[in-house]
Structure 1
Amino acid sequence: MHFVGIDIGSTAAKVIVISEEKREIVHHLVMPTGWSSKETAANIQDWLKERNITSDNSHITATGYGRVSVPYAHKVITEITCHGKGAYYLNGGDCTVIDIGGQDTKIIYVKNGMVSNFIMNDKCSAGTGRFLEIMANTLGVNLKEIFDLAEGGKEVSISSMCTVFAESEVISLIGNGRPKEDIAWGVVNSIVNKVYTLSTKLNSESDTFFLTGGFCDSLYMIEQLSKKLKKNVGSNHMARFAGAIGAALSK
């Protein structure tokens, strides 16, 4: 028997398989969501079947934006609950979760292993993974390179709350000859500031923050968030799977 968590997000789909016997992660997968969540779910099902994992011999839980597109799932759960449970598992205790996703940013307060409160910004892509992707494309670099550039940059302000206007600010800075490093610093700082604003609105009691999502491998992002929040921000290489882990654990 296996417990399977499928998190189909707006940008990437993540899958976690936990062994009932050993209570440990035995398989994991990340892949682009693409244009069709249904197609992605079908591809995931094929991947599971290759490992002898089906809805007949496993318990499958789906979460994320595309959770309703997984017809073979036994249960669907909201991503807030799953990210909270997954972060609690990875962090080894209560924490305030910072989930910077493709289309939204969520701050989730986990107390006694349960979601106590949360806040999210989903009305605009500013402060999200999509925002960073657009700005990186404007600068002609990839996501890893924009963090590398930011480390060597100097302070510059990108103040717009709208992605379209922020992109115009970046284009203007490029036109004025501002170094890419400085612009990259401003872009990353803009995301950090939006996370900070959300976290102050949530007003959680936790001194421990845990970063999930696609930026979990960026030491620079973790460092900047820690400085701004004035709290320790942890993460690890499996943090991008927090939603899928939480789904698998919600058997």
Structure 2
Amino acid sequence: MTYSVGIDSGSTTTKGVLLHQGAIVRRFMAPTPFRPAQAIEAAWDCLYDGLETRPFLTLTGYGRQLVDFADKQVTEISCHGLGARFLAPQTRAVIDIGGQDSKAIALDDDGNLVDFLMNDKCAAGTGRFLEVISRTLGASVEQLDEITRGVEPHPLTSMCTVFAESEAIGLRSAGVAPEAILAGIINAMARRSAHFISRLTSQGPLLFTGGVSHCGRFRELLSQHLGQPVATHEDAQYAGALGAALIGENLRKRR
């Protein structure tokens, strides 16, 4: 039986999937530790466990070069495009917002990569940014949808993580409700992401992937700023790992 494993070693989370005949049969997700190789090894052990034959292993993400037992190493841009098309075949554009970077990817009608943008130099607009501000205001990222539902966003002037945190504290001291500040943060991030996506050379049905895609309010505001629907998927956080596994599956078929 032919199996393929894809592992995405991200800056904050390590994801992995086991594919068999084009279907996901196992998933792995864990925080990326101080030594990312440990999470890669844990993912491999989990996904390979109990199989009679060794799966083809493809690594992607920041930590893809930290272990020596992979069959293939690939960049995350190509993986995220493939993974997005696997989850939603009509996808022509992808916005992936992870822990410490964001990516915008354009695909043609056949799913080939035609353009991409990547922001990995600044934490503003990433999952880490959202986590820091939420924690400053006494909330968790998991609570954001409930807390900000129906709340009018309070405008913010800064998207720098350090300055935005100080501004949030100042607004709270001035009596602005934390719910409104959090809604304002999400709105500012969504507006920034919409501008980021608009710089792609081609547009089309959009899939939102990465950890931040679980935030429904973010997706709602992003759709408003873009003026188009924004889709996601329950496996959206696995898009990079899925793409890596698909690449491995295709390579194995050729051998």
TM bin (shorter chain): over 0.9
Does the 8 Å CA contact 1:138/1:167 hold for their aligned counterparts? Answer: yes
TM-superposed CA distance for 1:103, in Å, is 0.6
- Counterpart of 1:240? 237
Indicate yes or no: 2:54 matched with 1:57. yes
- Counterpart of 1:80? 77
Indicate yes or no: 2:147 matched with 1:146. no
Q: How do residues 71-220 of structure 1 correspond to structure 2 at under 5 angstroms?
A: 71-111=68-108, 112-206=110-204, 208-220=205-217
% identity of equivalent residues = 39
Does the 8 Å CA contact 1:150/1:183 hold for their aligned counterparts? Answer: no
- Counterpart of 2:25? 26
Letter in 2 for 1:124: C
State how far apart, in whole Å, the 2-side matches of 1:167 and 1:47 are: 38
- Counterpart of 1:9? 10
Does the 8 Å CA contact 1:82/1:246 hold for their aligned counterparts? Answer: yes
How far does the alpha carbon of each residue in 1:131-173 deviate from its partner, in whole angstroms, 9 at most, with x for none?
Answer: 0010111011110212322223223112213110111110111
Which 4+ residue blocks in structure 1 deviate beyond 6 angstroms? none
Q: Using structure 1 for the length normalisation, give the TM-score.
A: 0.93
State how far apart, in whole Å, the 2-side matches of 1:106 and 1:212 are: 9
* SS of the residue 2:118 aligns to: strand
* SS of the residue 1:241 aligns to: helix
Letter in 1 for 2:236: A
Letter in 2 for 1:134: V
1:194–1:51 CA distance, 2 compared to 1 (3 A): farther
CA RMSD of aligned residues (A): 1.4
State how far apart, in whole Å, the 1-side matches of 2:56 and 2:49 are: 16
- Unaligned stretches of 5+ in structure 2? 249-255
* SS of the residue 1:107 aligns to: strand
State how far apart, in whole Å, the 2-side matches of 1:236 and 1:29 are: 17
Q: Which segment is superposed worse, 214-223 or 128-137?
A: 214-223
Letter in 2 for 1:7: D
Does the 8 Å CA contact 1:5/1:246 hold for their aligned counterparts? Answer: yes
How far does the alpha carbon of each residue in 1:99-146 deviate from its partner, in whole angstroms, 9 at most, with x for none?
Answer: 001111111011121111011222210000000010111011110212
Letter in 1 for 2:32: T
- Counterpart of 1:40? 39
Count of equivalent residues: 246
TM-superposed CA distance for 1:23, in Å, is 2.2
Letter in 2 for 1:232: P
TM-superposed CA distance for 1:69, in Å, is 1.7
- Unaligned stretches of 5+ in structure 1? none
Does the 8 Å CA contact 2:223/2:229 hold for their aligned counterparts? Answer: yes
TM-superposed CA distance for 1:224, in Å, is 1.4
* SS of the residue 1:98 aligns to: strand
Does the 8 Å CA contact 1:147/1:188 hold for their aligned counterparts? Answer: no
TM-superposed CA distance for 1:46, in Å, is 2.3
How far does the alpha carbon of each residue in 1:213-242 deviate from its partner, in whole angstroms, 9 at most, with x for none?
Answer: 112333222211111111111111011100
* SS of the residue 1:250 aligns to: helix
Does the 8 Å CA contact 1:159/1:190 hold for their aligned counterparts? Answer: no
Letter in 2 for 1:37: P
Does the 8 Å CA contact 2:97/2:127 hold for their aligned counterparts? Answer: yes
